Amino acid sequence: MPHLRTRLDDGYQVTFGVWLGIHPERLPSTFAVWWEPEYVDLRLDGVLANSIEPWELFPAPATATVRDPEETPYVTASSDPLLAEVLTSTWPHDQVLPHLPA
């Protein structure tokens, strides 16, 4: 499950766990490198397979890459304008946090 991190006001951030739908043909090669040194170079191109409030990003195209070999990949890019904005902008707490489950 990749991470989607977005910045909030005052230096805070929130990280969502997201599902990334990738082409089934990529599954064997992804699985093959998951616990190997090559994992650090893993790049997954697919679509978000769940909705993230408050943005309703499903099914935005997304690219996930490895930032830390001890963690699952992070969504780092998108050709979708809204997801690209989510990744690069700073958001008000009250716009994002009220949508998180308690």
User: What token pair was written down for 58?
Assistant: 């499903």
pLDDT tens figures, 50-91: 988 899 889 999 999 999 999 999 999 999 999 999 999 999
Would you say how long the chain is, in residues? 102
The residue-averaged pLDDT of 42-49 equals: 96
pLDDT tens figures, 50-59: 988 899 889 9
Query: Beta strands of 1-102 (E only): which ranges?
Result: 3-8, 13-17, 20-22, 43-48, 61-65, 74-77, 90-91
**Where does the pLDDT of residue 98 fall: very low under 50, low under 70, confident under 90, or very high at 90 and above?**
confident
The helix (run of H) or strand (run of E) holding residue 31 is helix 27-33
pLDDT tens figures, 16-38: 999 999 999 999 999 999 999 99
CB-CB neighbours of 100 under 10 Å = 10
